[in-house]
A and B are shown apart, each in its own frame.
Chain A
Amino acid sequence: MKELTCTLCPRGCRLYVDENNGFAVTGNACPRGAEYGRTECENPVRTVTSTVRVLSKTHPRCPVKTDRPIPRAQVTDAVAALRNITLCPPVRLRQIVLENVCGTGANFIATRSL
């Protein structure tokens, strides 16, 4: 039985997830909580935010994010994959900076224009 705190709203319900029983969730006060508990145990995902280098004196870094959540286990590698990227201005908001990060199907996109 896994125990975790739901992060969807400030209530912070203490969830109990039975991985031996199809990840059934108890302790949730709402259905979103049940979904969160299941996903968090079965296949935890995260949206990743970071920055990449830009060839610009005034803006040396551009903030980026994955356009959808990726498996938590791949977050470290996803950020590492940004290391070798250097953008040239101008940069468009939501421009794809790195496609199909670590084979997840998600892209890193720029979160501002430069």
Chain B
Amino acid sequence: MLDVAIIGCGITGAAAAYELSKYELKIAVFERENDVAEGTTKANSAILHAGYDPKPGTLMAKTNVEGVRLAGEICRELDVPYKKTGALVVAFSDEDLPTLQKLYDRGLQNGVPGLELLSAEQTHGLEPGLSARVAGALYAPTAAVVNPWEYALAMAETAVRNGVGMLFSCGVTGINRIKGGFELITPMGRFQTKTVVNAAGLFADEVHEMACEKEFTITPNKGEYYILDKEEGSRVSRVIFQCPTEKGKGVLVSPTVHGVLIVGPDAQKTDSKDDLSSTAGGLAYVAEKALLSVPGLDFSKSIRNFSGLRSAPDTGDFIIAESKTAAGFINLAGIKSPGLSAAPAIAKMAAKLLKEAGLAFVPKKNFINKRSVVRIAGLSPKEINKLVKANPAYGRVVCRCETVTEGEILDALRGPIPPRTLDAVKRRCGAGLGRCQGGFCGPRVLDILSRELELPPEEVFLDRDGSYIVLGDNRPERRPGDA
């Protein structure tokens, strides 16, 4: 019997797995997709928010500030790309200034360090690319940008290194209450566990209702984004937010750890937890609004669009609590923004709740709290030569846009959570992230995966199970005209 079954391996599940793996507990993570971070975690603004936005006293506020405080050290120890850029919330007129003041006050209440209110002059001094209309800004120096999927992966990999089991393509389809805990029904069989940590993102309400009476509803909310080429990457050096109005939160323009610019999101009501389509209307709205902050943005330099679905809870705050009708069933639900920022703090709260539910927490003696990844692109010639001498594969460039070598892809394949798809390689190594979006490296990565995983090429998928890229060898029995 497991001590803890974590359902979902997005940022929340990964952080929970990492935190709990510090203790002598039998833990397994059940993820319905074929990789870590396949939900909202790979499709968001990639920002660790300073924490002036959530209402004081809420779980969002508490975990945001605490989570961002913990993130710096985690990213350092686990080699997660992280950059403390700072953020500006810009006002477009004097009417906006009282709102900035409100955010400033709220930030102080929430314990956010370093906040400052800047004049128009000071703001333009920091960011010359901003619109001339900008009348001032709230400056939050502790805001940071991170690689969100690598953040989740790093914590998940570390959890695996410390004994956590991970099951992919293993969605939970039913939960029975049994003596001493729960029984999870999955495509890979039935698993017994003393406790459950529900980190199922968009499906957290459905998972909760498999075992308990309804307590909350999760509504998806879609946000669309542009990724602009590295050539646009230095338009701004800080995360640029727009001052919220009654109309909404506005659209952000932000540098990223990859050097590209992320622009978005809008906020669309949607019924579907599965609809990640980009829309002409959504993208047009994002572009129009973003140009208000940074009028020089060149959208012809777009290299990619994507959409993310946020899990909006009907309670208005994070749900970090034991279920009212099932002891030992811990919900980490409604983790929309600032979920990425809050993750490590949410995980610590989950641990506390499990302790209170009766689990024994004995710290592991030899907890492995270090992870390091070879990234050729950032190394000096001397360091590269040392690596190539030991392993020539580090000299074979596969992704020319991002300078990713075969050696790095092989490293990932020998890692604790090896990639099985092109996008899984992209998330671990960066191959395919660049401006040609995998046009050059795609066939090469497919060939490496096919060879190393001993899969026929038609079974190497782009991302989700079933997203085949090729049909296989041209077969002699197929005739032209067969469709």
Contacts and interface: CB of A to CB of B under 8 A. Distances in A.
Interface of A: 53, 76, 79-80, 83-84
- Ranked 7 nearest A-B pairs via Cβ: A83-B476, A84-B476, A76-B480, A80-B479, A80-B480, A79-B480, A76-B481
B300 interface: no
Contacts of B475: 83
Contacts of B481: 76
B474 interface: yes
A53 B480 contact: no
B477 to A, nearest CB: 8
Contacts of A76: 480-481
B396 to A, nearest CB: 14
Nearest to B480: A76
A82 B481 CA distance: 15
Nearest to B479: A80
A79 B478 CA distance: 11
Interface string B293-332: 0000000000000000000000000000000000000000
Contacts of B473: 53
A53 B479 contact: no
Nearest to A79: B480
Contacts of A84: 476
Interface in B425-483: 473-481
11 contacts: A53-B473, A53-B474, A76-B480, A79-B480, A80-B479, A83-B475, A83-B476, A83-B477, A83-B478, A83-B479, A84-B476
Nearest to A52: B474
Contacts of B474: 53, 83
A84 B480 CA distance: 14
A75 to B, nearest CB: 9
A80 B480 CA distance: 7
A72 B138 CA distance: 71
A79 B473 CA distance: 16
Given A76-B480, A83-B475, A83-B478, 7 more contacts: A53-B474, A76-B481, A79-B480, A80-B479, A83-B474, A83-B479, A84-B476
